[in-house]
Amino acid sequence: MLLARWQVDARFGQKQAVIDLLKTWERDIAPQIGWGPGRGRLLSGSIGTSEATIEHEWLVEDLGELGRAWEALGRIEAHRHWAKGLEPLIVSGSARWQILRVV
């Protein structure tokens, strides 16, 4: 089991808008790639990290599942539209994935 963690930094004053868009993605797009309710978790920076940081974590079986999900996202028009709406709200270049093994 792996934890796939996607992290972005919100632009000043845009944190809640980013959180709202990530919740929309979780509700509308994640099920299209097989990521249903209860598999994801949304976190935001508080103490010891930047308040602008927002993380979306997903439990996946293995790298194969994650790769298939990423491939599927490339074919979903709603995901492309969603990403264009998110782009002006986040710090350019701050998006990154971290993959951790659950022990």
What does the mean pLDDT of the chain come to? 95
Per residue in 60-91, pLDDT (tens digit) is 999 999 999 999 999 999 999 999 999 999 99
All domains of the chain in start order, with CATH: 2-101 (3.30.70.100)
- Whether residue 24 is predicted with pLDDT greater than 90 in this model: the reply is yes
Q: Which pLDDT score is estimated for 88?
A: 97
Please, where are the H alpha helices in the chain?
Answer: 15-28, 63-73, 77-86
Distance separating alpha carbons of residues 103 and 39, to the nearest angstrom: 17
- pLDDT bucket at 37, cuts 50 / 70 / 90: confident
- Whether residue 38 is predicted with pLDDT greater than 90 in this model: the reply is no
Distance separating alpha carbons of residues 12 and 26, to the nearest angstrom: 23
